[in-house]
Amino acid sequence: MAAALLGGAVLSSILNVVFDAEQKQIKERAVKDWLHSLKDAMYLADDLLDEVFTKAATQKDPGTFFSRCLSLQNREIANRMEEIIDRIESIVKQKDTLGLREIPKENMSWRVTTSLVDRSNVYGREDDKAAIVNILLDDDDTGDDDISVIPIVGMRGIRKTALAQLVYHDDRVKEDFDFRGWVCVSEGFDVMKVTKNILDAITKSLCNLKILNLLLQGLQEKLLGQRFFIVLDDVWNEDYYDLNMLLKPFQLEVKGSKILITTRSKKVASVVQTVSPHELNLLSDEDCWLVFSKHASLFTDSVQTSTLEKVGRKIVKKCNGLSLATQSLGGLLRGNSNVKDWNHILKSEIWEFFDDRINIVPALRISYYYLPSCLKEYFVYC
């Protein structure tokens, strides 16, 4: 609503500055106070517009009343509008003294994974892959169940999806099953949507059914009499009913079928598992270095390579075995042979948030950068 007072372009400019402020408020109290002042002023603008719309709705001719308010014929409301706009503009002007700048926010939709894998980009997961493939090829692990559900559990950025991709394309796995299917579940879990996506993946065509019962029946019919391998990547929903409903069509009388689920949640794993979850450990410093150097494109004959490697290995050590943080920082420095820039990353304040008990801060920092503004408030509060 504030856009009605400030104008879309002005509001967009303010939001771009806010984006920079949200990154700095963790360390700088003055920036945090500035954000609170701006938010208070924006709330006042919203309250005023709510009042205008409410009064307009009670009039015989709401359009005329609203027009009078906005055309400054209603002096009381007009004066309050001017005061709020002046207050917001005054607060925004303070951005220069705080060193805030406009940073257009990247449009980043939720990550969707695929089964495609770059084998040359996965390091340190050979033993994990072998362990999971052995479970997939073992037909004696189902016990009383017709199907095995194997969860891969680990924090964000530890490359659960990459491991699942390696397993999915293993030649022995390809030969052992009648067919395979890959579905990215991710946020916004919906049994109908996920079931439809599984059916699409199996049939390699779009399903137009819009009734859950028909979708579940259709999926079960396709699975009947088949040994299948399905990957459900990035499962978040911990609701027992939803997960049980999703897995119902897979409960068939043909032994040997497998479902591989990747998740950050141990609760999800406990709900779906028929065998013990495979928990991923952090990578070794050497494996992280291989990830970093590949993404930083450090395999060159540059005269500065040895100097960059020394700095790079120190950066990698600070990542504490987390592949996503290592990859992101490597990509950030890709093609950059300026030692000063590398040292800037090494000595960045980001590492001051590191907690030896929790090896996920770099990835959380990256995650935080792309969070919606409303969620950043809760994150910072915690």
Q: What is the mean pLDDT of residues 234-244?
A: 88
Q: What is the pLDDT of residue 379?
A: 59
DSSP H or E segment with residue 373: helix 373-381
Contact 159, 323 (CB under 8 A): yes
pTM: 0.63
Q: What is the mean pLDDT of residues 343-351?
A: 75
Q: How many residues would you count in the chain?
A: 382
Please, is 229 exposed, middle or buried when counting C-beta atoms within 10 Å of its C-beta (0-12, 13-18, 19+)? buried
pLDDT category of residue 110 using cuts at 50, 70 and 90: very low
HSE-up of 131 (CA within 13 Å, CB side)? Answer: 14
pLDDT category of residue 32 using cuts at 50, 70 and 90: confident
Each residue's pLDDT tens digit, 138-169: 876 555 556 889 999 998 778 899 999 999 99
In angstroms, the CA 30 to CA 33 distance is 5
Residue 180 bridge partners (DSSP): 229
- Looking at every residue in the chain, the average pLDDT score rounds to 79
In angstroms, the CA 7 to CA 1 distance is 10
Nearest to 229 by CA among 356, 59, 115: 115
Two tokens, residue 239: 């609701």
In angstroms, the CA 373 to CA 38 distance is 13
The sign of the CA dihedral 261, 266, 268, 270 is: positive
Q: What is the pLDDT of residue 109?
A: 42
Domains (ranges, CATH) in the chain? 2-93 (no CATH), 119-279 (3.40.50.300), 285-381 (no CATH)
Q: What is the mean pLDDT of residues 322-348?
A: 83
Q: What is the pLDDT of residue 177?
A: 92
Q: What is the pLDDT of residue 190?
A: 86
The sign of the CA dihedral 59, 60, 66, 68 is: negative
**Beta-strand (E) ranges in the chain?**
147-153, 179-186, 228-235, 257-263, 278-279
- Say what percent of the chain tops pLDDT 90: 21
pLDDT category of residue 89 using cuts at 50, 70 and 90: confident
pLDDT of 276 above 50: yes
Per DSSP, the three-state class of 59 is coil
Q: What is the mean pLDDT of residues 266-290?
A: 91
Which amino acid is located at 330 in the chain? G
Which amino acid is located at 64 in the chain? T
Q: What is the pLDDT of residue 36?
A: 84
In angstroms, the CA 340 to CA 335 distance is 14
List of residues 6+ apart from 32 with CB closer than 8 A: 25, 380
Each residue's pLDDT tens digit, 258-269: 999 999 889 999
Of residues 354 and 289, more confidently modeled:
289
Q: Give the lowest-confidence range in 294-303, 323-332, 356-365.
A: 356-365
DSSP H or E segment with residue 348: none
